[in-house]
Copies of this chain bind each other. A is one copy, B any other.
Amino acid sequence: MGNKRVKIRTMEELSGAIGVSRPTLSKYFHDSQSVRDTMRIRIEEGLEQYDYSPNIFAMNQNRRLTKNIGIVVPYLADPFFAEIVRNIERWCIEKGYWPILFSSHGEKKLENKALATLMTLKPAGALIAPLGRISDMDAIQRFTDEVPTVAFDSNLAVGEAFVGSDNFQSIGLIVDYLCETGEPPCFLEMPPVNPNALTRRKAYVQAMEHRGLTPEIVHVGKQGWEFERVGLSEGKRLIAERKFPTNTVLCSNDRIAIGLIAAAYEQGLRVGRGHGCAIRIAGHDDHPGSRYTSPPLTTVKQDYQGIAKRSVETLFDLVESGAKLTSRNETLLSGTLVERDSA
């Protein structure tokens, strides 16, 4: 970056300053390869000297669709989504798109509002992780009718495509691990906020039956997205009342497991697979905090980067081909076992 002296406010001014017509500049900004090399070089040299950035609003006004990519997540305070979003944003920027982030904060009303706002931004596409059960399917449907959309994490039947984890594979993996290293696990459910909850339960049942074992599911009464709290309070109750059918507990996700480990500690139960341990606890996701529980949590790592990358790639394929897909495209990524000390 040279020392940009003169500030230039409009393309018109820029055009005069560097001696290139405005339509050519417009073309250049739309696609720098679409003008002759001599022009491109002259423009780029000009851009070094003058400090100009195009007016985003004016740019987007006349475009049929913009370079905006909408991202909607259910809960940004969940590090899982924070991490995914980080990766998605990176990929978008790299491809020359402009990510705009919305969080539903777990509320249907806010999810709808985010979609409505997004629509007015004429985005080229959108990546959404729906709230799930409480989502307003009609609203989402109306949105996806207008905007090419890839759903991720939570597989509601919306959007042109879905990218997420292969829960059957990943749950199978951890069930196998737990069975091979000790007592078969029971399954501590998460609140059924989204399809993952259901799928993971099914996957657990299938994995157990596949081994000729009886699945044991522990339901939780609580609702909402504060999974750690659910894990803690339900965990305490279940331990106190000796309601866990087995001493190996597979949790529907790591945040539940984090709460449960806290509950076990509080109840004086030693967690782990070693001598003198009273309970084994395993999770699912490899949540950023799961390395720092006591003991560290054994879990299945979701392929964060993979999900982000595939989601973005899938979306751009959609956007750039311009075509509506004939059939819904589902990508399921595999998890990998992360063996730590809790199970």
Contact B120 A259 (CB under 8 A): no
Q: Kindly identify, within residues 228 to 242 of chain A, every residue whose CB is under 8 Å from any CB belonging to chain B.
A: 228, 232
Interface membership of A196, Cβ < 8 A: no
Closest chain B residue to A258 by CB distance? B292
Contact A261 B121 (CB under 8 A): no
Contact surface of A with B, Cβ cutoff 8 Å: 53-58, 60-61, 76-77, 79, 82-83, 85-86, 89-90, 98, 100-101, 103, 105, 116-117, 119-122, 228, 232, 258-259, 261-262, 265-266, 288-289, 291-296
Interchain residue pairs with CB less than 8 A apart (11): A53-B119, A54-B120, A55-B61, A57-B58, A79-B79, A89-B103, A100-B100, A228-B288, A258-B292, A262-B293, A293-B293
Contact A292 B262 (CB under 8 A): yes
CB distance from A58 to the nearest CB of B (A): 5
Interface of A, secondary structure class, is helix
Closest chain B residue to A76 by CB distance? B82
Question: Which residues from B are CB-within-8-Å of A121?
Answer: 56
Contact A262 B288 (CB under 8 A): no
Contact B292 A294 (CB under 8 A): no
Alpha-carbon separation in the docked complex, A100 to B55 (Å): 17
Question: Which residues from B are CB-within-8-Å of A86?
Answer: 76-77, 103, 105
Contact A82 B77 (CB under 8 A): yes
Copies per complex of this chain: 2
Determine which of B53, B90, B266, B292 lies in contact with A259 in the assembled complex, contact meaning CB atoms within 8 Å.
B292
Alpha-carbon separation in the docked complex, A57 to B57 (Å): 5
Alpha-carbon separation in the docked complex, A97 to B289 (Å): 34
- Given A76-B82, A101-B101, A262-B291; 9 other pairs, CB 8 A cutoff: A55-B61, A56-B121, A57-B57, A79-B82, A82-B82, A86-B105, A262-B293, A292-B293, A293-B293
Question: Which residues from B are CB-within-8-Å of A103?
Answer: 86, 89
Contact B265 A120 (CB under 8 A): no
Alpha-carbon separation in the docked complex, A119 to B7 (Å): 14
CB distance from A240 to the nearest CB of B (A): 17
CB distance from A114 to the nearest CB of B (A): 11
Contact A292 B228 (CB under 8 A): yes
Alpha-carbon separation in the docked complex, A132 to B266 (Å): 38
CB distance from A266 to the nearest CB of B (A): 8
Contact A294 B291 (CB under 8 A): no
Question: Which residues from B are CB-within-8-Å of A291?
Answer: 228, 232, 262
Most buried by B among A86, A265, A292: A292
